Structure 1
Amino acid sequence: MTTSSPGAPRQRSPISQLLHPIRRQLALAAVLAFTGSALTLAPLAGIAHIAAAILADAPVDEVWPTVVASVACMFAGMALVSAGELAAHLADNRLTHRLRLDIARRLARVPLGWFSQRGSGDVKQAMQDDIATLHGLTAHFYTSVARAAGAILAAAIYLFALDWRLAIAALLPFPGFLLFLRHAMRAGGAGMGEFMTWAGRLNHATVEFASGMPLIKAFGASGRAHGAYRDAVDGFAAAFIAFTRPLVAAMAHAHALIAPVTVLGVVLASGALFAALGWVAPLDILPFALVAPGICAPMLLLHTLLHDLGSASAAAQRVQALLATPVLAQPSPGCGRLPAGHRVVFDQVSHAHDGQQALVEVSLALEPGTVTAIVGPSGAGKSTLARLLLRFFDPDSGRVTLGGVDLREIDSAQLYRRVGFVMQDVRLVHASIRDNIALGRPGASAEEIEDAARAANIHGRILALPRGYDSVVGEDARLSGGEQQRVSIARAILLDPHILVLDEATAAADADNEAAIQDALSRFARGRTVLVIAHRLHSVVHADRIVVLDAGTIVEQGRHQDLLARDSRYARMWRLDQLADTPVAQGAPC
């Protein structure tokens, strides 16, 4: 159990932290809205005063000042409310602009490995959906709360100034509303856990039902799948009814209690009683009949706004978490070192992620102009080794050097000019094919881009697209996985790095695409330092060195023929690989 000392600073909520830069603008907007809302009630009091004057046969000259004051207060109130809304929207625009820029700057500095562990939907939710939720908070919430509070407070003060006894009677339904509301929240909270559990089960059952339909049909298990989905729907429906029935009843009572007709009835009944007792004159009831029912709408608005505050708090937490994402350490501007050469050394490197040790004290040198292949079973640490060279993340211990310089001392821009990569998971941005190829060199000429595409064996396919190199990925450029891979190879070729990392670049390609990719890569890799992560051993038999990883450690290394001669781990892997590539003989029994 943690305790805090009385003098310790209180931790601000996520909303308070995010809104701190615009708190003064929001406070000004709230004050303007509060004052304006209070002023807009003046016409109701004016109507009551005018009616009393007319019934008392007062001269017309005594009525006009009230009319003028009421109209003036109404327009002044509208102007102040509009000014408050404008101030809130300007503050919101400032905050939204700053948050989006801060998130973009933060994401530009986080390790590349962070993106591989998260879906783009998580980032999109924070940058788009959550900021849109915060827009509702900053641009509308505080001014709306201020308007509701201003109307309620001004009305209450006015009524108590007229007659405190009738004011208490007229306002009695509102404490009753709060009591019913509290009961409704408790009633809803009792069944919330069961409701959320069944909502999660229904979501899971829906995904399983939709995604597994081809397999279900193929094996004739549609009845069982339909039954599981139907059970989830029935369970959710029952939980929904159990959750909403007490909640709806309590909310109906609460809303009925502060319906304008209910409040008006209370005012008239109380006024009639007080008039009979001689406490008030019948005409004194009119202001209460006009003003008290007007509190109902602001009260309901206040309840709705405060109820929606929870979603804004959750959005603020997600945005704060994104802004607090750990960034990759970079040398200070002007302090980065330049590598002297292109020799890569992994020096006693260890790294763990997701609680699993991926590499354990791995030492390895990549000599300039050589091809080094990393092989091993799934989970051996092959991709982790490649990603450390690309600084997707930094090692927990040890270091990786390029040209004798620790990668942490090299500016990222300088590193990626020297190290290119083609990954198994291809990422093309929503832009033209030309822009995708030129991503690393935006200033490349059209001729250079096309030469890179030719070298990657993708030029002909691009010309066959509706707009050639100007075709946009995801619109009129529909590319297969292997074709996307060749676009990413063209991107690497255009960058012309000294070191090339290939992480199972042909794993998802079909036979034709694999041949085209292998041909492009073999020509591109000549004279470069190449690190290949391979899952098909026949593709690396000509490597200068093959390194066998298992459980994060190097268990063997050497040339293909030397490793076969040792008849150890690599030789067993080779025999299994050859067996997997051998087609089943025609007519052979299964």
Structure 2
Amino acid sequence: MNTRDAAAAEPKRPGPISRVLNPIRGQLIVAAVLAGVGAMLTLVPLAGIAHIAKIVLGGADIAAAARAQVQSEVWWTVIASVASLFVGMALVSAGELTAHLADNRITHHLRLAATQRLARVPLGWFTSRASGEVKQAMQDDIGTLHSLTAHFYTTLGRAVGAILISVIYLFAMDWRMAMVSILPFPGFFLFFGRAMKASGANMKEFVGGLGRINNAVVEFVNGIPVVKSFGASGKAHGGYREAVDAFAQAFAGFTRPLVGSMANANAMIAPVAVLGVVLVFGTLFVSLGWIAPVDVLPFALVAPGLSAPLLLLHYITHDLNHATGAAQRVQALLETPVLEQPAPDMRQLPTVTEIRVEHVSYAYDAQNKVLSDVSFTLKPGTVTAIVGASGAGKSTLARLLLRFFDPTDGRITLGGVDLRHIETSDLYQRIGFVLQEVRLIHASVRENIALGRPSASQQEVEDAARAANIHERILGLPRGYDSMIGEDALLSGGEQQRVSIARAVLLDPSVLVLDEATAAADAENEVAIQDALSRFARGRTLLVIAHRLDTVMHADHIIVIENGTIHEQGRHAELIARKGRYARLWTRGGYEEPQERAVPSC
């Protein structure tokens, strides 16, 4: 079997909309059918009017004895028309209700599924994603799908139902008049198809530009305080302005082909244009004796009404293009690779705290290899420092120890157990971390500290805060430990760092990873953070990621990383004696004087 045969034999994968809406497919079909049948019934009064007109105009010479029967037929036609109208309206309403219930169900399902998925993806995944990108998929795109689920299928049902019953009725009345009555509509589809093809070619740029605006807004809001403080507010607007300009160009490219084609299409099926065609050919057919004048009335009433559902199909098809892009992004989010958890029979719990990094390599992709064949051991109760220039791979190594992602090659073990065989919740009970980028959730200070141990008592939370030198600051907040982060708990970067240390203290892990924990702190906060870490680090295995050599000179073991590989390692005195890379960096100017308490002692 060749490649083409294999591709033909492989089952076709459903589209993104079909996959996203699969849980409510049945409800949407029911909603569309209800709306379609309802739309058909609401058009019955038009046929009733034509029927009554035919009876009245064609029955002037009816005998007096038959007039009672004619009146009865008229009344029954009126009753049937009114009943059909109300039943049709009820069915359309039922279809709309069904669609909205389905929309509520799928919105709840998608948001819950996205949250559950994001809870299982590697933590390193978030570092390579702009927050606007995730927000667009979880909020904006799921919101866009609301129009699809709540309105598209019922609108489609109504439009198709109205067109179908109208065409059937017209051909039942007279096939010749039916043929000429629908003459304008093939031209509409010709121009409509041309417009859709032209705009579809620019849809990718349009959606991409919208995504760039989302990211630019987030970056603008997050970055403007910094650039304004340096008197460079114009730069804060630069990225946003560029994104807006790019989107304007994409929007113009998307809409320009639509305008002319859709103007021609709409003109061809305007009700007055269709009515003109009906009257012209109706007059011709009457003059030829093919039909009676009264037989033109059904076509004059029904044919122009085809314009509205056809235009409605155009508008919802336009919405469908947006929904397709939204569904693709939502589906991509739901299919994000997750951090695999060990099978129940593979789970192991380490009994000792020694960490071994064995021939570990890591690459974001084929072109970006960050670490290459790195091996070392973190012995229990010791301090190991990793130093190197920015971009050398220090933080990546720290995140591999925390299993933000897994090594491309090699393995990392805790107590002889591969990290991949330890469930994440168990791993983070044994390895704590304080990173340079502090993340506090929108909750009370107490809840932030007790994030890893929600069952901790108030006394335990306060003890952890005291150990982190943040207790007194918390008491000074308007509601103390009940103050909300971002509302009445407005903390500086160093204070937030101490809250994160209190969180780690409460977990009481046997291994602690510090990644530039004081890099963003001012002098006062740095002293408080170092003091807290020094007391907390005693008796624990400690890994310190640092950029300044003077902060790690008292470590038990120092590892120098360059270009993703271990360049040299040993104690401070040993490395100085070797007169290698570390010694040259140490003697180079620009470093601060050594600080005795820079590295938390064990």
The answer to whether the aligner puts 1:467 opposite 2:479 as a matched pair is yes
Paired residue for 1:585? none
Q: Which moved more, 1:139-148 or 1:114-123?
A: 114-123
1:144 partner amino acid: T
Deviation at 1:215, TM superposition (A): 7.3
Instruction: Report 1:307-322 matches (<5 A).
Output: 307-322=318-333
Paired residue for 1:118? 129
Q: Which moved more, 1:525-534 or 1:76-85?
A: 76-85
TM-score (norm 1): 0.89
Paired residue for 2:592? 581
Distance 1:507-1:202 versus aligned 2 partners, 3 A rule: closer
Q: Which moved more, 1:74-83 or 1:224-233?
A: 224-233
Distance 1:376-1:177 versus aligned 2 partners, 3 A rule: same
Distance 1:4 1:529 in 2: 58
1:44 partner amino acid: L
Paired residue for 1:389? 401
In the TM superposition, what whole-angstrom CA distance separates every residue of 1:367-407 from its partner, at most 9, and x where no partner exists? 11111111111222211221111111111222111111111
Instruction: Report 1:107-256 matches (<5 A).
Output: 107-185=118-196, 247-256=258-267
Paired residue for 1:21? 23
In the TM superposition, what whole-angstrom CA distance separates every residue of 1:327-383 from its partner, at most 9, and x where no partner exists? 222122364111021111112222222432222222211111111111111222211
Distance 2:338 2:214 in 1: 34
In the TM superposition, what whole-angstrom CA distance separates every residue of 1:68-89 from its partner, at most 9, and x where no partner exists? 1111111221222222223323
Distance 1:133-1:185 versus aligned 2 partners, 3 A rule: closer
Distance 1:31-1:389 versus aligned 2 partners, 3 A rule: same
Deviation at 1:495, TM superposition (A): 0.8
Distance 1:245-1:562 versus aligned 2 partners, 3 A rule: closer
Paired residue for 1:545? 557
Distance 1:297 1:405 in 2: 68
Instruction: Report 1:483-522 matches (<5 A).
Output: 483-522=495-534
Paired residue for 2:432? 420
Q: Does the residue aligned with 2:9 lie in a helix, a strand or coil?
A: coil
Q: 1:106 aligns with which of 114, 117, 132?
A: 117
In the TM superposition, what whole-angstrom CA distance separates every residue of 1:434-461 from its partner, at most 9, and x where no partner exists? 1111100001111211221121122222
Deviation at 1:3, TM superposition (A): 2.7
Q: Which moved more, 1:198-207 or 1:50-59?
A: 198-207
Indicate if the aligned counterparts of 2:511 and 2:541 stay in contact, CA closer than 8 A.
yes
Indicate if the aligned counterparts of 2:435 and 2:514 stay in contact, CA closer than 8 A.
yes
Paired residue for 2:582? 570
Distance 2:9 2:208 in 1: 41
Distance 1:160-1:191 versus aligned 2 partners, 3 A rule: same
Distance 1:512 1:18 in 2: 52
In the TM superposition, what whole-angstrom CA distance separates every residue of 1:19-57 from its partner, at most 9, and x where no partner exists? 233322222222222111111110111111122223335
Q: Does the residue aligned with 1:431 lie in a helix, a strand or coil?
A: coil
Instruction: Report 1:223-302 matches (<5 A).
Output: 247-302=258-313
Distance 1:115-1:284 versus aligned 2 partners, 3 A rule: same
Paired residue for 2:4? 3
Indicate if the aligned counterparts of 2:133 and 2:214 stay in contact, CA closer than 8 A.
no
Distance 2:550 2:296 in 1: 96
Q: Which moved more, 1:287-296 or 1:239-248?
A: 239-248
Distance 1:465-1:90 versus aligned 2 partners, 3 A rule: same
In the TM superposition, what whole-angstrom CA distance separates every residue of 1:202-224 from its partner, at most 9, and x where no partner exists? 999999999799979989998x9
Which ranges of structure 2 fall in alignment gaps of 5 or more residues?
61-66, 594-602
Distance 1:143 1:195 in 2: 27
Distance 1:138-1:551 versus aligned 2 partners, 3 A rule: same
Overall identity of the aligned pairs, in %: 65
Give the paired residue count.
Answer: 580
Distance 2:233 2:278 in 1: 66
Q: 1:77 aligns with which of 88, 97, 115?
A: 88
Deviation at 1:250, TM superposition (A): 2.8
Q: 1:53 aligns with which of 55, 59, 65?
A: 55
1:16 partner amino acid: S
RMSD: 3.4
Distance 2:176 2:155 in 1: 30
Distance 1:437-1:150 versus aligned 2 partners, 3 A rule: same
In the TM superposition, what whole-angstrom CA distance separates every residue of 1:409-441 from its partner, at most 9, and x where no partner exists? 111111111110001111111111111111000
In the TM superposition, what whole-angstrom CA distance separates every residue of 1:227-277 from its partner, at most 9, and x where no partner exists? 999999999989977875664233222212222222222222222222222
Distance 1:482 1:457 in 2: 11
Deviation at 1:488, TM superposition (A): 0.7
Paired residue for 1:587? none
1:356 partner amino acid: N
2:266 partner amino acid: H
4+ residue segments displaced more than 6 Å: 189-222, 224-243
Which ranges of structure 1 fall in alignment gaps of 5 or more residues?
583-590
Distance 1:500 1:507 in 2: 17
TM-score (norm 2): 0.88
Paired residue for 1:586? none
Distance 1:462-1:122 versus aligned 2 partners, 3 A rule: same
Paired residue for 1:434? 446
Q: Does the residue aligned with 1:308 lie in a helix, a strand or coil?
A: helix
Q: Which moved more, 1:253-262 or 1:501-510?
A: 253-262
Distance 1:367-1:205 versus aligned 2 partners, 3 A rule: closer
1:468 partner amino acid: G
Paired residue for 2:455? 443
Distance 1:316 1:398 in 2: 37
Q: Does the residue aligned with 1:72 lie in a helix, a strand or coil?
A: helix
Distance 2:220 2:441 in 1: 31
